[in-house]
Amino acid sequence: MAIDGLYATFGRIFRQRCFYLFVSLIVLVVAVPFVVDIPSGRILLQVAQALVLVATVAAVGGSATRFVVALAIGIPALGFQLTAFASEDPGFRLAVANGLYIVFYLLTVIYLLRYVFSPAVMTHDKLFGAAAAYLMLGIMWADVYRVMQHVHPEAFGGQPGALARSYYDLVYMSFGCLTSNGPGDVVPIGSKVRSLVILEQLTGTLFVAILIARLAGIYPPSRESGDG
């Protein structure tokens, strides 16, 4: 079938799948903000997110089913986001896109963690998979906050009539919460959004603790030569 041929092609190109996913996420989080404010910056943002989409689809391509599911969620998410910028009222389309991205990232994180925590030998690709899952959690929570901001425009310290927080303001806040450094100058207002912040902080702390436990479990304690 055509889908099987496409899946096999992706597998050959992206042999180190988690490494490419990790690099694409780093570009999205760290590099794109330097150019997002220039006239073509919005286009570059879409290109970066498209690269993340491609790298993610390749990374989860352990089976044709996961490959198809990733495409079925990721492509509409990117499509809604692209068409939002040509729409007179982009808010709804962006909210739908963010909702689809949340599902897309969540499923990817679940797959990556199953891959990383599998009993097989820990490899470099698994380590990049763990790092990619951590970065993806931060981006996923930024999309959660973006949807929350669409529902409650004043959820992050905005004044009535003021501009909403930008995407990278929410990414900045998200990674601050994920690493337990705090939300910075983005102030979450209201019990609902603060409960989400608490949940993200717990997620980040538990992720690191469980990953360390997994790595420690790879190397069982050596026995003393005198032990029976």
* pLDDT tens by residue, 133-192: 999 999 999 999 999 988 888 888 755 556 678 888 899 999 999 998 888 888 888 889
Closest CA to 138 of 185, 176, 95: 176
pLDDT digits (tens, 9 = 90+) for 28-42: 888 777 876 776 666
pLDDT higher than threshold 70 for residue 195: yes
pLDDT band, very low/low/confident/very high, at 13 (cuts 50, 70, 90): very low
Q: Which two tokens stand for residue 120?
A: 């097989």
How high is the pLDDT of residue 28? 86
Q: What is the pTM of this model?
A: 0.81
Distance CA 206, CA 179 (A): 11
Of the candidates 217, 12, 222, the residue with the CA atom closest to the CA atom of residue 121: 217
User: Residue 185's CB: how many other CB atoms inside 10 A?
Assistant: 10
Other Cβ atoms within 10 Å of 40 Cβ, number: 10
The whole-angstrom separation of Cα 86 and Cα 212 is 45
Angle at 16 between CA 114 and CA 77, to 5 degrees: 65
